[in-house]
């Protein structure tokens, strides 16, 4: 993967340089220039304490940018993930939109005409360097508005100590998961397979399982396909073969939030679950040796992982297009992209930074996640209906695997809500 990314980036850079096209597209136009401008930046906090707050990162980036761009100041505000999307929505509604936001969703603002498109802000070099999988997810009606900021993929994690004690090999199929979980339960493991389908993040857990049976939220042309036969079969299998056989632990999946499942894993009480890089680091810091494999599927390992991305965007309201573009070009340097990824054990969103991470031995543990990114599938972030649909999934999906639950009914209800929300776009 890394060689292909690096080769693509190298060739692209050479072509751009040869054509003399590295000047920013944002340099033309009639809006304000870059003198005596203060850009308001609102960002999410990825840290869990004052010591690793994202405010430290953004303050450093702002200071470096201001040094190189006299006359432009960056006013940084960082909020928790619980608050940041709401804060930005309130600012926009009050007519006081930030110039730059780093948050979880962009589509509503793009549809409302409030955002600059990427080619209105960024240099060609910066645009060309984003990983295509991520830019595809950042588009509305074929135009890139959501700039990928940081990414992650998912793998199946297993506790190597518990597996060794039970004499088990890493699972490759759903049948393997059931057999391994049965053996772990017999050994007294509290959560043989932790299945967090509570409200915290179950739209992601759901997508991982759908992909493992060649399903998903949308079909090949981007239309919602939530209650497909494949998706119903997936949740029927979970209900009958994991939950129904008592293999998912003492908390029913619909009431198990991801944070609680992850905490149980780091405490050594979980045999298997779907995890991300940050969990890997947290578990190993507590002495849990983590095995990782691609998500097992109905017939074999899943070919594509679930990907996740968060977004940057530039708001039009204050007319600071040129200054915003200059800041983005600075913020997306390899140095800055890798510094953030390093701090939070996440994946870079650019080809050049990905290639550098892959060849650096200190990132060896992230290589499996990095390798999964180009073929990953992301939720349909470009749909303004996605926020409504995501909430419907989080609220209801646990019922699909409950004793006596009906995956057909639950997925059908969510699909109906998706159709209604899609029609309102």
Q: Taking a C-beta distance cutoff of 8 angstroms, is the pair 242, 199 a contact? A: no
Closest CA to 219 of 206, 228, 207, 232: 228
pLDDT at 6 over 90: no
| Residue 326 within a domain | yes
Percent above pLDDT 70 for the chain: 92
Residue 201, phi then psi, degrees to nearest 5: -150, 30
Read off the pLDDT of residues 92-138 as tens digits, 9 standing for 90 and up. Answer: 999 999 999 999 889 999 999 999 999 999 999 999 999 999 999 99
Closest CA to 201 of 124, 157, 253: 253
Domain limits for position 346: 2-152+308-372
- Ranges assigned E (strand) in 23-67: 37-45
Q: Say whether both 389 and 409 belong to one domain.
A: yes
How many folded domains does the chain comprise? 2
Q: Say whether both 219 and 322 belong to one domain.
A: no
| Residue 380 within a domain | no
DSSP 208-272: HHHHTTT--SB-TTS-B-TT-HHHHHHHHHIIIIIITTT-S-SS-GGG--HHHHHHHHHTT-EEE
Closest CA to 235 of 402, 110, 372, 374: 402
Residue the block writes with tokens 């679930």:
306
pLDDT of residue 402: 96
Q: Say whether both 196 and 279 belong to one domain.
A: yes
Q: Say whether both 269 and 406 belong to one domain.
A: yes
Count of beta carbons in the 10 Å neighbourhood of residue 33: 14
| Residue 178 within a domain | yes
Q: Say whether both 21 and 101 belong to one domain.
A: yes
- What CATH number is given to the structural domain containing 68? 3.40.190.10
- The Cα 142–Cα 285 span in angstroms is 43
Read off the pLDDT of residues 195-226 as tens digits, 9 standing for 90 and up. Answer: 999 988 899 999 999 999 999 999 988 899 99
> Is the model more confident about 374 or about 260?
260
pLDDT of residue 348: 95
Q: Say whether both 276 and 415 belong to one domain.
A: yes
| Residue 377 within a domain | no
pLDDT at 244 over 70: yes
- The Cα 209–Cα 207 span in angstroms is 5
To the nearest whole number, what is the mean pLDDT of the chain? Answer: 90
Closest CA to 216 of 198, 201, 229, 200: 229
- The Cα 278–Cα 289 span in angstroms is 14
Read off the pLDDT of residues 184-198 as tens digits, 9 standing for 90 and up. Answer: 999 999 999 999 999
Q: Say whether both 124 and 250 belong to one domain.
A: no
The mean pLDDT of 283-296, rounded to a whole number, is 95
Using a 10 angstrom Cβ sphere, with 0-12 exposed, 13-18 middle and 19 or more buried, the burial of residue 232 is buried
Q: Say whether both 175 and 99 belong to one domain.
A: no
Residues contacting 51, CB < 8 A, separation 6+: none
Q: Taking a C-beta distance cutoff of 8 angstroms, is the pair 217, 225 a contact? A: yes
| Residue 378 within a domain | no
| Residue 313 within a domain | yes
Q: Which DSSP category does 90 fall into? A: H
Q: Say whether both 337 and 199 belong to one domain.
A: no
């Amino acid at each position: 993967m890394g060689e292909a990314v690096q080769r693509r980036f190298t060739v692209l850079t050479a072509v751009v340089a040869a054509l003399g096209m590295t000047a920013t597209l944002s340099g033309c136009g009639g809006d304000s220039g870059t003198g005596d401008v203060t850009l308001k930046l609102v960002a999410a906090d990825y840290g869990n304490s004052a010591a690793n707050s994202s405010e430290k990162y953004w303050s450093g980036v702002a200071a470096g940018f201001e040094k190189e761009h006299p006359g432009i100041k960056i006013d940084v505000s960082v909020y928790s993930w619980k608050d940041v999307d709401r804060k930005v929505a309130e600012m926009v509604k009050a007519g006081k939109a930030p110039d730059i936001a780093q948050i979880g969703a962009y589509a509503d603002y793009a549809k409302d005409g409030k955002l600059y498109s990427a080619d209105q802000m960024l240099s060609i070099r910066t645009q060309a360097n984003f990983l295509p999988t991520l830019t595809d997810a950042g588009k509305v009606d074929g135009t890139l508005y959501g700039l990928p900021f940081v990414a992650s993929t998912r793998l199946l994690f297993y506790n190597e100590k518990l597996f060794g004690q039970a004499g088990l090999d890493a699972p490759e199929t759903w049948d393997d998961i059931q057999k391994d979980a049965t053996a772990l339960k017999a050994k007294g493991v509290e959560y043989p397979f932790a299945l967090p389908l509570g409200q915290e993040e179950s739209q992601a857990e759901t997508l991982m399982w759908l992909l493992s049976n060649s399903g998903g939220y949308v079909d090949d042309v981007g239309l919602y396909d939530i209650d497909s036969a494949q998706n119903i079969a997936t949740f029927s299998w979970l209900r009958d073969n994991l939950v129904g056989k008592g293999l998912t632990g003492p908390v029913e999946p619909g009431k198990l939030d991801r944070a609680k499942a992850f905490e149980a894993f780091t405490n050594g009480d979980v045999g298997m679950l779907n995890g991300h890089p940050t969990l890997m680091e947290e578990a190993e810091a507590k002495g849990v040796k983590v095995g990782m494999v691609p998500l097992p599927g109905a017939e074999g390992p899943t070919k594509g992982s679930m990907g996740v991305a968060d977004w940057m965007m530039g708001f039009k309201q204050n007319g600071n297009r040129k200054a915003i573009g200059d800041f983005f070009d600075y913020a997306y340097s390899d140095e800055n992209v890798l510094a953030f990824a390093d701090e939070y054990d996440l994946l870079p969103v650019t080809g050049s930074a990905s290639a550098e991470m892959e060849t650096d031995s200190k990132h060896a543990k992230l290589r499996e996640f990095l390798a999964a990114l180009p073929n990953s599938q992301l939720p349909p972030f470009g749909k303004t209906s996605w926020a409504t649909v995501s909430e419907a999934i989080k609220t209801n999906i646990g019922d699909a695997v409950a004793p006596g639950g009906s995956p057909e009914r639950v997925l059908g209800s969510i699909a109906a809500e998706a159709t209604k929300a899609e029609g309102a776009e």
